[in-house]
Chain A
């Protein structure tokens, strides 16, 4: 249990550090703190409004009272208020997260399944330090930036060939049952981009781990006993590399939001990534801070849950804890 408690502690510590950074950053920087806290620059604000905000944001209070107010604002469910969008951060995130999840969740599922299947299969093929063409192509694919993949797919399939649409998630006029298929049609290119961007690293991870396990003596014994490749792949390779593979899948869920910033920008999909991008362009600091907190919270929760699941599923980690 020791290691698991330690990882929970580190996760909480991460969150605390993010909260502290979020608090001190706008107040400590040179420049106008009202600007840093609201995003409204001095030219657009009248002196009365400025003083109003100054008091409302509590900038004349001592530091520890300000911190108390800030912590309270985190827990009352609004995650801050965006003055430029004129909505609470929570409402903004909540309204856009659905579209982002529609891209991330299918991508992670597809990538996991494909990476496991191809990784295990190629681990057998590459036993004698040979490299398959598939691996080589995948490694080269690893070097292509994700936005380039998105752009190439967009240009090729949307502009040149016209097979797929190039923006948004719905075409006007699609209602009822056909709206579902229409949305699927719109989602295909972004999901393909994300899959192509995430696949190489997962595949290489599974393959390298499996190759190491294949060299063990107990696998040799299993093969000479007559187990076929499928049984070895499942019982030995997958179950032994479960820890690493599962952790990386969990991490990719959390880091998928970062990837979606770029992809939603390219495909003009109204999700969290585009919200983040527009917050950057409009210098909407409260929204940026709220989203940083939210994404870190998601990452921390994913880490804790995934560690718990690994502890439940994998008996080896349970025994290592108590050892």
Chain B
């Protein structure tokens, strides 16, 4: 299946590049201006790829402009999650002073809390800014990744080549860089891509329920708007499905890219 694998890998990279370009240069890719008004509730046509919404704005333009905010929240949350996961995974393996035990308990406690409900409750108390959403999503997502990374590190540590390196007298930094890191590379990439899918799901679910940052609409917020402004009544299904389709495309492209790295993880 080598050929199919490479094809989907490059397809994934192309789609991700497209989204990145949409995020950085939205005005070059959107066919119209952001608040340019046409007749509302038009269907899909050649001039409006996804139709127009209740205020007459072109939906495709809105999607392109919303890419930047969606990506900022998802990518920042994902990187913060991975950073916290690596930090906590390493700290939970420290054997002195019971530090490992404390961090291990913290990870297990966070695994038991229902993520969506906790994030929703906390965000209803706090102001709904982008940074709060990023912090909350990362805080509740890093626990499962930390546990996976911790198990993977223990797996590597039990192998004989590590013991051999210690017997040869290499110091810890050398062993970490030359023995642990190459084996963890693939795992880290696969987990990062999986976390990216999860954060965008979480962010779009939050926005769909109305808890997103309304000033910078993301794809999930667009679906929420569609829902509230009567898209069902007007049979404007494209308004509801187009942003969701973008989310799906985004996650699929991450999956295609991560397939390449699955072997070593």
A: residues with CB less than 8 A from B are 7, 10-11, 13-14, 17-18, 25-26, 29, 36, 130-131, 139-140, 142-148, 151-152, 155, 159, 254-255, 257-258, 261-262, 265, 276-277, 280-281, 283, 285, 288-289, 291-292, 295-296, 299-300, 303
Contacts and interface: CB of A to CB of B under 8 A. Distances in A.
Interface of B: 1, 105, 108-109, 112-118, 120-122, 124-126, 197, 201, 204-205, 208-211, 223, 232, 235, 237, 240-241, 244-245, 247-248, 251-252, 254-255
Nearest to B115: A258
Contact of A29 (B117, B118, B126): B126
Q: Which of B105, B125, B255 has the most CB of A within 10 A?
A: B125
* 5 closest residue pairs by CB, A with B: A143-B251, A148-B244, A258-B116, A14-B112, A10-B108
Contact of A148 (B1, B125, B248, B252): B248
B240 A155 contact: yes
B113 A296 contact: yes
Given A11-B112, A146-B205, A151-B244, 4 more contacts: A14-B109, A261-B117, A280-B120, A292-B121
Contacts of B254: 143
Contact of A299 (B105, B114, B126): B114
A159 B209 CA distance: 22
Contact of B116 (A29, A142, A261, A300): A261
Given A143-B197, A151-B244, A292-B118, A300 B112 contact: yes
A292 B232 CA distance: 31
Given A14-B109, A14-B112, A277-B209, A143 B117 contact: no
Nearest to A255: B114
Given A280-B209, A281-B210, A145 B204 contact: yes
Contacts of B105: 10, 13
